[in-house]
Structure 1
Amino acid sequence: MSEPFLIGENMTGGYGGADILHGCTIAVERGKIAVIVGPNGAGKSTAMKAVFGMLNIHTGSVRLDGEDITALSPQARVAKGMGFVPQVNNIFTSMTVEENLEMGAFLRNDDIRDTMEQIYDLFPILRDKRRQPAGELSGGQRQQVAVGRALMTQPKLLMLDEPTAGVSPIVMDELFDRIIEVARTGISILMVEQNARQALEIADTGYVLVQGANAYTDTGPALLANPEVRRTFLGG
């Protein structure tokens, strides 16, 4: 069997004190959606940051498209094809929408206009508001700017930390629809999400973390149908 496009394998580590991750493994197939869910404090965002190189793991490895990238900095990982959208402080509020998107292309030296058009096609409201300061937008629109800016790097893997935090259910559904569209273009998606039930509905693979370790790993539909997962993590 071929290796997943991305795999953070047997990761143990944290932020310098006690370990938060304990032998955690997260993988994403090419062009598929993988979702990390679990209770508060389970290490979901920590696992995402470990994959992106934002904290040190002292055991385990991270491989992207067969290449060991464990020792690379986050910026070097972006150059390898990873895009990361943090949960907070993920836009430049004083810059316009278009300037935010241009900032996403900081590593590129080719013509970015086609990519920008693709993002405006994906998020039409951003085209309408492209001259507006991003700080004036609604929460859902800000998230679209943040995702769009990450897509400007032309990533092979897009990582989203709580993309629907603080948005209405209607906006959440719309964001998930757009995420599915991005995956259909061949980009792999790794997402941490508090809205576990809705996230698992669109997930090809789901990871339930508890105390920094894998508790359940299966397809999204299988986890939704698992009575133990439903009872413990999805409210019955």
Structure 2
Amino acid sequence: MSFLSGAHMTGGYGGADILHDCTIGVERGEIAVIVGPNGAGKSTAMKAIFGMLALRQGTITLDGRDIGALSPQERVVAGMGFVPQTSNVFRALTVEENLEMGAYIRKDDYRETMEQVFALFPILREKRRQPAGELSGGQRQQVAVGRALMTKPKVLMLDEPTAGVSPIVMDELFDKILDVAKTGIAILMVEQNARQALEIADKGYVLVQGRNRYTDTGAALLADPEVRRTFLGG
């Protein structure tokens, strides 16, 4: 069983099921990437693992503990950080205030964690007094990731972290994600830029219509002719 595991997940948003016996997992310090065509259930799988979607079947475990009955807020307390694709910063608040909002569940002194975030994302230190809404798209993504890191998560979940950013900014964000994984945090992310994401992934999941189609290391999926032809543009 993986450190974070969503096993045999079946469910949807009230009507027909979107996920069908879908299994996703990631270990400490690893990067696991969920890829697949539009409508494959990638973001739905993430939301199910985070507790935003009721499952008809399946189990969600974190570090061996069944967390299926926990609300999303309770899962944050248990060690899960989630960065949605959109509306993931408080635009009217400064960068520093956004990071402070991420520490709302903490009872200890969070200043050391904020320094770690500023060390990871130096541009945020430079712009700490600036409203997040005035930042570029890539900088706002750094704020969103930084705010999630302020909770001191065991797992960081990222839904399309490079959506709408330039290729240069995408590469920079992937470099930062690698840096976060090196600290021992498990990273699970959904990504449309499948080829680039699999290049940094320890493990990859290719979903089609809510089902696991391929599961392997990132390198093995990149080397698979059928995966390349069908999902990576040749």
Correspondent of 1:49 among 47, 50, 53: 47
The equivalent residue for 1:80 is: 78
The equivalent residue for 2:22 is: 24
Correspondent of 2:150 among 149, 152, 156: 152
CA deviations on 1:148-192 (whole Å, 9 max, x unpaired) are 000000000000000000000000000000000000000000000
* Residue 28 (structure 1) shift: 0.2
What secondary structure sits across from 1:154 in the alignment? Answer: coil
* Residue 71 (structure 1) shift: 1.0
The equivalent residue for 2:193 is: 195
Structure 2: which amino acid aligns with 1:5?
Answer: F
Distance between the aligned counterparts of 1:26 and 1:4, measured in 2? 9
Distance between the aligned counterparts of 2:14 and 2:134, measured in 1? 37
What secondary structure sits across from 1:94 in the alignment? Answer: coil
Correspondent of 2:95 among 93, 97, 101: 97
**Structure 1 ranges of 4+ moved more than 2 A:** none
What secondary structure sits across from 2:180 in the alignment? Answer: helix
* Residue 30 (structure 1) shift: 1.1
Structure 2: which amino acid aligns with 1:76?
Answer: E
* Residue 12 (structure 1) shift: 0.2
Percent identity between matched residues is 79
The equivalent residue for 1:223 is: 221
Structure 2 residue runs without a partner (length 5+): none
Distance between the aligned counterparts of 1:17 and 1:140, measured in 2? 35
Distance between the aligned counterparts of 2:162 and 2:177, measured in 1? 11
Correspondent of 1:40 among 38, 41, 49: 38
Distance between the aligned counterparts of 1:30 and 1:125, measured in 2? 27
Structure 1 residue runs without a partner (length 5+): none
Distance between the aligned counterparts of 1:18 and 1:217, measured in 2? 25
Distance between the aligned counterparts of 1:106 and 1:15, measured in 2? 29
Structure 2: which amino acid aligns with 1:115?
Answer: T
